[in-house]
Amino acid sequence: MSMHRPSPFATPNLDDAPRDVHHDGETRRTLRIGLVAPPVLRIPPQRYAGTERIVAALADGLVARGHHVTLFASGDSTAGSETVAVVPTAAWHGRSTGDTSTFGMLAAMKALEHAERFDLLHSHVDVMSLPLVRQSPVPVLTTFHARLDLPGLFEAVRAFGKAPLVAISQSQRRWHPDANWVATIPHGLPLRAMPFSSRTGEYLAVVGRATPEKGIAEAIEVAKASSIPLRIAAKALDPAEHAYVDTYIRPALGDDVRFLGELGPDERDPLLAGALATLMLGAWPEPFGLVAIESLATGTPVIARRAGALPEIVEHGIDGFLVDDLAEATLAVSLVADLDRARIRERAIARFDVDRMVTAYERLYHALIEEGSGKGTRDRLNGSGSPSEPRPLVGIRVGGADAEHDGRHP
């Protein structure tokens, strides 16, 4: 499908008449969707990122299904159908500058200016967009990408109790059981394109940011205890991250521990595919874990701390191992070569491929829009009116046994 992309500063032309599209046996009206994203990195990002990669995958997946998707993001973004620039170019140029929440607020306010042109706004700037729910003439859906238990974030979710929310894991939403969770939708990426290696690797890998919560210092300790080389692909942008590199990573460097810096996908994906295991030993409640699903998609098992959403992604003894301390992590390294890498990849694709995520959001958009016409979203999604026991929108689990299917995907 050819896409016309006007100037980043142009007003989107969304006056085309709606039409029906067909996907997986369903006929649905095409939608005019505004995706609100932090304008700190371009979409898609050139190197590693979290929220921006998900927004790009969702935008392009929706466009492929015939929907018109407008990004409210940095003006150099190229995903979706078109971009309305919040700032001319990505606010981060090789280093983090400023408060990302402030940029998120700017994106939310820009989207509100154009709201009447859309069927729905879908925000990815966390709590910064919650006030839009009370001001927008169209439904506003918020997917949270951050943890929600911290001061300020916790109170903000409670303050906007009627806002329709999407969680990316059960762990993320557990502190807000009474919030208006309309779905739990795990992240998805185009995992079928990830390289696969059936061969057991000879090194351990860490991918992420150079921060204490990513467990890099712990990974170094486990690698040395296991006498197995370690490859660290970590980005360091702000002064605290550079200080972490100087304090914990550089003193450990040598033939067995190598620091590769931040890698783009052409280097990062083969690094994951060639590893014996990917280590995720940070002791913090990570809301999801994109590195985990990417590693699993290459066939490489994950050894992860039993924290946050990782127990929902990694099934112990099948996809890798869940550990509670470094002694268990060292034991897991000695056992990980016995796992079935082909099965690991198959399970990852079945549970976390991008098509599942796009389908889940597409159904949710239609349900929310119909609610605006007098039909009940919660009845559509959960089969009941109880706000305290919402179910995932699609019939899959984030973790657990082999993927459950909703009948629409092979």
**What average pLDDT does the segment 191-196 reach?**
96
pLDDT above 60 for 398 = no
Q: What local confidence, expressed as pLDDT, does residue 13 receive?
A: 46
237 pLDDT band (50/70/90 cuts)?
confident
11-20, 89-98, 287-296 — which is least confidently predicted? 11-20
**pLDDT tens column, 330-387:** 999 999 999 999 999 999 999 999 999 999 999 999 999 998 654 444 333 333 333 3
**What average pLDDT does the segment 115-138 reach?**
92
Q: What local confidence, expressed as pLDDT, does residue 22 receive?
A: 54
Q: Are the C-beta atoms of residues 183 and 393 closer than 8 Å to each other?
A: yes
Indicate the pTM of the whole model: 0.84
Cα separation of 288 and 352, whole Å? 12
Q: What local confidence, expressed as pLDDT, does residue 375 receive?
A: 41
Q: Which residue has the higher pLDDT, 343 or 5?
A: 343
| Share above pLDDT 70 across residues of the chain, in percent, rounded to a whole number | 81
Q: What local confidence, expressed as pLDDT, does residue 93 receive?
A: 62
- How many CA atoms within 13 Å lie on the side-chain side of 227? 0
Cα separation of 34 and 287, whole Å? 24
DSSP conformation letters of 206-271? EEEESSGGGTHHHHHHHHHHHT--EEEEEE--SHHHHHHIIIIIGGG-SSSEEE--S--HHHHHHH
408 pLDDT band (50/70/90 cuts)?
very low
89 pLDDT band (50/70/90 cuts)?
confident
| Share above pLDDT 90 across residues of the chain, in percent, rounded to a whole number | 65
pLDDT above 60 for 78 = yes
- How many CA atoms within 13 Å lie on the side-chain side of 132? 33
Q: Which residues pair with 279 in a beta bridge?
A: 303
Q: What local confidence, expressed as pLDDT, does residue 373 receive?
A: 53
* Domains along the chain with CATH numbers: 21-184 (3.40.50), 193-350 (3.40.50.2000)
Q: Are the C-beta atoms of residues 90 and 76 closer than 8 Å to each other?
A: yes
91-100, 102-111, 178-187 — which is least confidently predicted? 91-100
Rounded to the nearest 5°, which phi and psi values hold at 192?
-65, -20
Cα separation of 267 and 197, whole Å? 15
Q: Which residue has the higher pLDDT, 161 or 28?
A: 161
103 pLDDT band (50/70/90 cuts)?
confident
**pLDDT tens column, 243-297:** 999 999 999 999 999 999 999 889 999 999 999 999 999 989 999 999 999 999 9
